[in-house]
């Protein structure tokens, strides 16, 4: 099943419609007893796809079972054609690791990899991949296994700035919604000088799905610190999955703008 914002974009009906609409690449794919099966044992890189390449911000949910072989499952997302796609490789490397891999014009690279307990034969697994504008979130049996930045938007940072006239402070709010730290340059124009010390309040967590609870009320909590190298142009790193509030002391403010750019 594929859903987006509570709307079902696709739901399988292999018992009624069979394999209509599916595009196969390698392997032997058949619909049997309401299940979609790949039965070839001497072919690698077996894939079958369906859907719309314009889909975005969606969740793929499925159940999968392997009946043999040395590895597990390949779950395709962001498929454009047979040479351009992303997949979650569950139980790869002889059933020892999970990885999110991407193919661009037929050249495959690994975006992230973790160790994984072997996928067992003849066992059903619940699999879910959430595709957002910024991340891929991969779940196995309800457990978040990997969060990986969407490489197409890895440079996305959101910034706003304001000026407090009474205190002569520039207040910058910055959000890094990706799963990777961002090295960022701040530029201030319309000021004579920026104090070297700036206050920083930061909210961040290892996963964008982390929540506070009665048992762990401070799992996601603001942390206050100081930046000691601020100036009219300086570089700092914004952590992954973070919201930052920075306060700068300024002198001679006339007209102020602020930009945040990732440094390659």
pLDDT in tens, 180-232: 778 888 888 878 899 999 999 999 987 777 889 898 888 899 999 999 999 99
Q: What distance in Å separates the CA atoms of residue 134 and residue 137, rounded to the nearest whole number? A: 10
Quickly list H helices, the chain: 92-95
CB 165 within 8 A of CB 116: no
Q: Which among 72, 206, 216 is positioned nearest to 140, based on CA atoms? A: 72
What is the pLDDT confidence band of residue 262, given thresholds at 50, 70 and 90? very low
Predicted local confidence at residue 263, as pLDDT? 36
Mean pLDDT of 22-37: 90
Map out the domains of the chain with their CATH numbers: 2-153 (2.60.120.560), 158-262 (2.60.40.1180)
Predicted local confidence at residue 33, as pLDDT? 87
pLDDT in tens, 86-143: 999 999 999 999 999 998 888 888 888 999 899 999 999 999 999 987 889 999 999 9
What is the pLDDT confidence band of residue 253, given thresholds at 50, 70 and 90? low
CB 165 within 8 A of CB 182: no
Predicted local confidence at residue 172, as pLDDT? 94
Encoding tokens for residue 80?
A: 């454009």
Predicted local confidence at residue 258, as pLDDT? 47
Counted residue by residue, the chain has a size of 264
What is the pLDDT confidence band of residue 41, given thresholds at 50, 70 and 90? confident
Q: What distance in Å separates the CA atoms of residue 220 and residue 200, rounded to the nearest whole number? A: 16
- Model pTM? 0.60
Encoding tokens for residue 97?
A: 């690791």
Average pLDDT, rounded, for the chain: 87
């Amino acid at each position: 099943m594929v859903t987006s914002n509570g709307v079902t974009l696709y739901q399988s009906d292999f018992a009624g419609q069979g394999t209509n609409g599916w595009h196969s690449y390698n392997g032997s794919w058949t619909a049997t007893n309401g299940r979609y099966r790949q039965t070839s044992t001497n072919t690698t890189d077996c894939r079958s796809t369906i859907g719309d390449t314009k889909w975005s911000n969606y969740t793929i949910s499925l159940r999968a079972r392997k009946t043999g072989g040395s590895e597990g499952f390949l779950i395709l997302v962001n498929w454009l054609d047979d040479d351009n796609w992303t997949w979650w490789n569950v139980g790869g490397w002889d059933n020892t690791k999970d990885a999110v891999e991407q193919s661009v014009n037929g050249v495959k690279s690994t975006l992230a990899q973790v160790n994984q307990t072997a996928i067992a034969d003849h066992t059903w697994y619940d699999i879910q991949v959430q595709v957002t504008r910024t991340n891929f979130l991969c779940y196995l049996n309800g457990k978040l296994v990997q969060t990986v930045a969407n490489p197409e938007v890895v440079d996305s940072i959101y910034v706003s700035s304001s000026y407090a006239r009474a205190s002569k402070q520039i207040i910058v709010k910055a959000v890094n919604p990706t799963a990777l730290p961002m090295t960022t340059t701040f530029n201030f124009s319309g000021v004579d000088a920026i104090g070297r010390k700036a206050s920083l309040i930061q909210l961040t967590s290892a996963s964008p799905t982390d929540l506070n609870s009665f048992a762990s009320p401070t799992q996601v909590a603001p942390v206050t610190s100081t930046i000691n190298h601020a100036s009219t142009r300086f570089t700092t790193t914004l952590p992954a999955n973070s919201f930052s509030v920075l306060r700068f002391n300024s002198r001679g403010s006339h007209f102020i703008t602020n930009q945040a750019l990732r440094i390659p």
